[in-house]
Amino acid sequence: MDVLADFLPIVLRGMLVTVVLSLSAMVLATAIGLVGAWARLAGSTPVKALALIYTVVVRGMPPLVLMLLIYFGGQTALNAAADAMQVEPIRIEPFTAGIVSVGIIFGAYLTETFRGAYLGIPQGEIEAGVAFGMPTLTLARLVVLPPLMRLALPSFWNIWLTLVKACALVSVIGLQDAVYAALSIGRSTREPFTFMLVVAALYLAYTGLSDLVFRRLGRHLARGTRAASV
Amino acid sequence: MYAWQVALDHIPLFLTGLRNTVLLLVVSTIIASVFAVPLALVLTRKMPVAAPIIEAVSYVFRGTPLIVQVYLLYYGLAQFAFIRTSVLWPWLREAWTCLLIAFSLGTCAYLVQILRGAIEAVPHGEVEAARAVGMTPFQTLRIVVLPNAFRRALPSYENEIIFLLHATAIASLVTVIDLVGAGRNFNTIYYFTYEGFAIAGVIYLAIVGVIRLSFGLLERRLLVHLRRAGI
């Protein structure tokens, strides 16, 4: 038990990396998802095609492969660009690479979420807003966004949980997260099971806490609507 | 483009990777499906003791990353002397066994929920009709409820298989040469940085394409009675 107490802070610090990483990546993914959904729905033909290719390719490959591709491929591309411009190449930090790759991966899933949610908004509501002469931004803020958030929530919630669990893979691109900490401590203390179990419990607490937050959010967003009674 | 040309010299390497990935996918899917059906029935019957336990275990598996579950088995089990001395140890210390256990359990946890939802969605009138024509409860289950539920579950089942395919990439982290492992070996041969992963990625895309196509055909056949007129 002493060993556990000695090394627990390191695992907790690793978990903090995971929490910050997952939250930042989700913000980036949401931004990409909104832009992607807009591109899929309202873009010109080449933009639509690009957005479609992005979602199909990214959702077809394992997150692990995409992380490796974006981290190593991105660095190679940056080096080539730096060579071409004859400047010192920029080195991507694993943490930045983690946020960017997880953001790009789950941006593709959220693109489909937001597209589906937008298609679920009754078209008459948007037409009514246009008929009132609302500027585009006002229309988006007052008419589109509230039902969009409510309709997207179940899928958004699911994707968030998947994203959190995908963050456990970031040690493959050199990030020192909770999994990395548990592996190395487990090796040196000869108690790998104990420390990996701690990581599992921390993830369970994190996903459980997310469920609580999303359940409250769902109730908040559903105010003023009536659920179908079966 | 150079990488794609030299990749042609290493087709056997990628074929080995493909075989291992597909093997992990197929075996885990079969084991998970076999266990998911009775477990889902326990949940829909709301059996005391058993149902809450299944619910809790399924929640734990769904709430923790698969890679943590794999590491718990592959690196973790050696911590216990009684496991190291047991007759099962020659199997349990193999990466393949740990992967198959973790993938099957993790997928089963999701399949149970999918099947439960599908079974509960079977219209009650069909069950009553089956009973009315004199079917036994087991016949009702076998002839009416389960075929109906399997059809309803098909789209979610397809998604779950694709998620499992994505998850099998974890195998490359515990010494198995799957597609990602083949890509990494390819990179080491030529000092490439990412090209092998790109090749692996394209093969994954193709597998997803095949899965989507097969399920599309299957759904067209099995869900023909649900298709709306005129579409």
Pick the CATH number of B2-226 from 3.40.30.10, 1.10.3720.10, 1.20.1090.10, 3.40.50.1100: 1.10.3720.10
How far from the centroid of its chain's Cα atoms is residue A169's Cα?
13
Q: A44: which residues sit within 8 A by CB, 6+ positions away?
A: none
Tokens in use for B101? 């256990």
Q: What tokens were used for B124?
A: 């009650």
- Domains in chain A and their CATH numbers? 2-221 (1.10.3720.10)
pLDDT band at A114 (very low <50, low <70, confident <90, very high): very high
At A147-169, the pLDDT tens digits run 999 999 999 999 999 999 999 99
User: How high is the pLDDT of residue A112?
Assistant: 94
Residue A223 confidence (pLDDT): 83
Question: Which amino acid is residue A42, in one-letter code?
Answer: A
Tens of pLDDT, residue by residue over A96-106, are 999 999 999 99
Q: Is the pLDDT of residue A230 over 70?
A: no
ipTM score assigned to the predicted complex: 0.89
Can you give the pLDDT at residue B92? 83
* DSSP summary character for residue B140: I
Selecting from B72, B79, B180 the residue whose C-beta is nearest the C-beta of A190 gives B79
CB B222 within 8 A of CB B151: yes
**CB contact (8 A) between residue B200 and residue A63:** no
Are the CB atoms for B115 and B154 separated by under 8 Å?
A: no
Residue A191's φ and ψ, nearest 5 degrees, are -130, 60
CA A145, CA A152: separation in Å to the nearest integer?
10
Q: Which of residues 66-125 of B touch A (CB under 8 A)?
A: 66-69, 71-72, 75-80
Q: Where are the beta strands (DSSP E) in chain A?
A: none
Location of structure tokens 């420390």 = A195
Band (pLDDT 50/70/90 cuts) for residue A227 is: low
One-letter amino acid of B172: S
Residues of chain A contacting B113 with CB distance shorter than 8 Å: none
The verdict on a CB contact (< 8 Å) between A196 and B75 is yes
Yes or no, beta carbons of B71 and A183 under 8 Å apart:
yes
Q: What whole-number distance in Å separates Cα of residue B167 and Cα of residue B173? A: 11
Interchain proximity A203–B68, CB inside 8 Å = yes
Cβ contacts of B71 on chain A, cutoff 8 Å = 179, 182-183, 192, 196
Count of C-beta atoms within a 10 Å radius of residue A87:
9
Task: Report, as ranges of residue numbers, the positions in chain B whose pLDDT lies below 50.
Answer: 231
pLDDT 10s digits, A71-86: 999 888 888 888 888 8
Q: Write out chain A in H/E/C secondary structure.
A: CHHHHHHHHHHHHHHHHHHHHHHHHHHHHHHHHHHHHHHHHHCCHHHHHHHHHHHHHHHHCCHHHHHHHHHHHHHHHHHHHHHHHCCCCCCCCHHHHHHHHHHHHHHHHHHHHHHHHHHCCCHHHHHHHHHCCCCHHHHHHHHHHHHHHHHHHHHHHHHHHHHHHHHHHHHHHCCCCHHHHHHHHHHHHCCHHHHHHHHHHHHHHHHHHHHHHHHHHHHHHCCCCCCCCC
